[in-house]
Amino acid sequence: MKKHWIVDAHCDSIGDYCSGKRDLKTDTDSGHWDLNKAKRGGIGLQFMAAYIESEYKPHLATWRGLQLLDSGHHFIEENKDTVFLVKNRSDIDKLGNQSLGIILSVEGGEILGESLFMLDIIYRLGVRSLGLTWNERNAIGDGVGETSSKSGLSDFGKKVIARMNLMGMLIDVSHLNEPGFWDVLKISDKPIVASHSCAKALCSHPRNLSDDQLRALADNKGVVGINFCPDFLNSNVQASIDDVAKHICHIVEVAGVDTIGFGSDFDGIPSTPKGLENAEMFTQLLDKLRDYGFNQTEISKICHGNFLRVLSNVLE
Ligand SMILES: [Zn+2]
């Protein structure tokens, strides 16, 4: 694989696989992400999220989460010649070669219900990253969609953070509201990630992070993965690949080059920026970063180095 291979910290493609819409193996024009596109785009590690849709919450959230994780395992098993599940620190050494590493993540702490033991269950199912909330409130905390909420993590949420630190599971704060974000940083003794968010200073969307949050992530030695959702990049015009580069430049300026990576949100976003239509376009984004003056060392950190640093620190 090329020197500048990619870690993409978020895609929602398991949903299409689970519904039978796509097998993620066949080269088709539909969808943003599949194995061929990932290969052509130079992706070496893909976080695949079990995104629990709102209609399953709260009562069927665990069922739906497990169904999506089951699909994730079927997908990995079906493609075991070319992909492998990343579970431990030792698996990190295998990345960047021919096989594509997969990290199973869950987007929505609703999968836990209000039971800490569910964390252990999903860990045993290979999950190594948990998005604490989606946009709504759950037993852990409040998502950014709870616009009138000023509350941070619940007592249960605080126990979840401590347990995740202990187990070696990545804490993902994308979608979490700001008071919750600060609580997590107070409690966590490990680096955290915002797997798919952008910079609020450039686009005032509730899903984006303020400069203070970005600086705090840097202090925590965490990483934010730039989201390719046009609404998060530029609220005025159709977003383009240049907007992605501009958000990266801003985050580097505010929080340093060790704090930024990619979290495309492919197959989870309703449209894509011009020039970044699917996973194979990562190659164009790297060219763009060169145009914006990033050197080889910086590009290597943005591509994969920063996320690998966090994973090496967090995973057992
Ligand atoms: Zn999301």
> What residue type is assigned to position 289 of the chain?
L
Q: Which long-range contacts (CB under 8 A, 24 or more apart) does 19-25 make?
A: 23/78, 24/75, 24/79, 25/78, 25/79
Residues of the domain holding 215: 6-314
Instruction: Answer whether residue 1 is part of any domain.
Output: no
Q: How far is the CA of 134 from the centre of ligand 1 (A)?
A: 7
Local structure of residue 56 (DSSP, 8 states): G
Provide the token pair at 79: 């493609």
Q: What is the rounded distance in angstroms from the CA atom of residue 262 to the CA atom of residue 212?
A: 20
Q: How many CB atoms are located within 10 Å of the residue 189 CB?
A: 9
Strands 43-51 vs 83-85: parallel, antiparallel or unpaired: unpaired
At 190-224, the pLDDT tens digits run 999 999 999 999 999 999 999 999 999 999 999 99
167 is a domain residue? yes
The one-letter code for the residue type at 270 is P
Would you say residue 143 has pLDDT above 70?
yes
Instruction: Provide the token pair at 64.
Output: 């739906």
Reading the block at residue 13, the tokens are 């493609």
Q: What is the whole-number distance in angstroms between the Cα of residue 199 and the centre of ligand 1?
A: 15
Is residue 1 pLDDT above 80, yes or no? no
Cα(283) to centroid of ligand 1, in Å? 23
Assessment of whether the complete model's pTM goes beyond 0.95: yes
Separation of CA 289 and ligand 1 centre (Å): 24
Distances in Å between the Cα of 24 and the Cα atoms of 105, 277, 308 are 18, 16, 25
13-59 pLDDT, tens digit per residue, is: 999 999 999 999 998 889 999 999 999 999 999 999 999 999 999 99
Which candidate, 90, 97, 91, 101, places its Cα nearest to that of 45? 101
CA 198 – ligand 1 centroid, Å? 12
> How many angstroms does the Cα of residue 196 sit away from the middle of ligand 1?
7
Give the model's confidence band at 233: pLDDT under 50 very low, under 70 low, under 90 confident, else very high: very high
- What single-letter DSSP state applies at residue 207? T
pLDDT of residue 98: 87
| Distance from the alpha carbon of residue 295 to the mean position of ligand 1, in angstroms | 30
Q: For the segment 85-138, what is each residue's pLDDT rounded down to a tens digit? A: 999 999 999 999 989 999 999 999 999 999 999 999 999 999 999 999 999 999
Task: Quote the mean pLDDT of the chain.
Answer: 97
Domains of the chain: total: 1
Ligand 1 midpoint to CA 227 (Å): 9
Give the distance (Å) from ligand 1 centre to CA of residue 107: 7
Q: 187 C-alpha vs ligand 1 centroid, how far in Å? A: 23
CATH at residue 80: 3.20.20.140
The answer, yes or no, to whether residue 2 has pLDDT greater than 80, is no
279 Cα–ligand 1 center, Å: 17
Q: Measure 51 CA to ligand 1 centroid, in angstroms.
A: 8
Q: What is the pLDDT of residue 3?
A: 79
Query: What is the C-alpha separation between 191 and 204, in angstroms, rounded?
Result: 25
CA 225 – ligand 1 centroid, Å: 11
Residue 264 · residue 273 · CB < 8 Å: no
How far away, in angstroms, is 41 Cα from ligand 1 center? 21
Residue 209 DSSP class: B
The CA 252 to ligand 1 mean position distance, Å, reads 22
Dist. CA 169 → ligand 1 center (Å) = 18
Task: Judge whether 133 lies within some domain.
Answer: yes
